[in-house]
Amino acid sequence: MHDVRFLRLRTAGAVSLAAALAVSVPMSMAAGCAPVPTRLATVTRAQAAPEDPSLGWQERFQAPQLDWVDPFGHDPSQILRVYSLERGRAGVFLHAHHDATVAAPPPAIDLGQPFQKDPVPLERVTALRWRWRVLQHPAVTDDAWLDVAASVYVVIKVPSLLWGGQGFKFGWLAKPGAKGTFQHGLLQIELRHDPAGPAWRSESVDLCALYRKEYGPCEGQFVRYVGVVTDADNTRSVASADYADFELVTNGVGVERGRVASDASGSPAPAPGATVPR
């Protein structure tokens, strides 16, 4: 049984992703972004560097308030229909449940961390690490990318009205998906297509090496946004997943240069300080 901590939206005015990232974005992304705190406290958490000097950023979902945003400015009530914070034996994690079978279902909703102040230089990032699990895949279609139970977005260059963005969408698919495809300029990369289940999996991706291979030199680029999407709207089905322990590693620990590493064992190797249920 999970001790569920449902998210509650701030009543303060929304802030656009364009303002948050200080870059140009499409009109659809210029709508307000709704920061999402927990109901346990009302103190705003500053975007601070983690205590571990090897980490440029980390998110354990344990701070008094979660300052992630919805880049598309959906109504707070819609966000709360999809995302919540829960506590289990593995600690606190972000739970996503998108039910598109109900009358007037919520839309697919992005939720993530923009880096407005002191974004981490991409050339210093050796790995983005996180843990996740898929509890229910959406309906399977010919296109495995149509709806995805668990996906992590990394934006290096935000899409604009005139050109696509640059970055990555890492997916846990229901079946093998097409390679070399893009969504709004972001390269879609399948990390796994395992069945749904209760076991956590750990991922580690070398962002600089991937960017250099696909887009060009990573020197002079910055990580602008890291977020998640769990969606089932296109297939009018249900998707459910959990996310935990995000880290931007800046000293090469835990990843080999140029590799995308996924832990395929039944007992995932946790990020430092994380606890995994047995």
What would the two tokens of residue 34 be? 């709704």
Judge whether residue 133 has pLDDT over 90.
yes
Q: Would 274 be classed as within a structural domain?
A: no
Give the pLDDT score at 206: 96
- Identify which has the larger pLDDT, 15 or 264: 264
CA dihedral in degrees (38, 131, 210, 115; nearest 10)?
Answer: 20
Neighbouring C-beta atoms of residue 6, cutoff 10 Å: 12
Which of these, 56, 166, 50, lies nearest to 120 by C-alpha position? Answer: 56
Q: What is the mean pLDDT of residues 19-36?
A: 34
Q: Would 115 be classed as within a structural domain?
A: yes
Q: Would 133 be classed as within a structural domain?
A: yes
pTM of the model: 0.78
Q: Would 277 be classed as within a structural domain?
A: no
Q: Would 278 be classed as within a structural domain?
A: no
Among the ranges given (32-36, 54-58, 114-118, 231-235), the one the predictor scored with the smallest mean pLDDT: 32-36
Give strand ranges (E) for 89-149: 91-99, 111-114, 127-136
End-to-end alpha carbon distance in the chain: 15
Judge whether residue 174 has pLDDT over 90.
yes
User: Would strands 83-88 and 15-16 be described as parallel, antiparallel, or unpaired?
Assistant: unpaired
Judge whether residue 276 has pLDDT over 50.
no
Range of the domain at 208: 3-262
Q: Would 267 be classed as within a structural domain?
A: no
Q: Would 269 be classed as within a structural domain?
A: no
Rounded Cα gap, residues 154 and 222, in angstroms: 10
Give the pLDDT score at 23: 32
Q: Would 51 be classed as within a structural domain?
A: yes
SS3 208: helix
Identity of the residue numbered 182: F
* Count of structural domains within the chain: 1
Among the ranges given (91-95, 135-139, 256-260), the one the predictor scored with the smallest mean pLDDT: 256-260
Judge whether residue 103 has pLDDT over 60.
yes
Rounded Cα gap, residues 141 and 29, in angstroms: 28
Judge whether residue 14 has pLDDT over 50.
no
Give the pLDDT score at 264: 52
Q: What share of the chain is helix, strand, coil (3-state, %, to 5)?
A: 10, 35, 55
What would the two tokens of residue 254 be? 């835990």
CATH number at residue 94: 2.60.120
> Which tens digits make up the pLDDT trace of 63-87?
777 889 999 899 999 999 999 999 9
Distance of CA 58 to the CA centre of its chain: 12
- Identify which has the larger pLDDT, 226 or 252: 226
Q: How many H-runs (helices) and E-runs (strands) does the chain carry?
A: 3, 16
- Identify which has the larger pLDDT, 8 or 14: 8
Judge whether residue 53 has pLDDT over 80.
no
Which of these, 275, 269, 240, lies nearest to 255 by C-alpha position? Answer: 269
Among the ranges given (9-23, 53-67, 90-104, 123-137), the one the predictor scored with the smallest mean pLDDT: 9-23
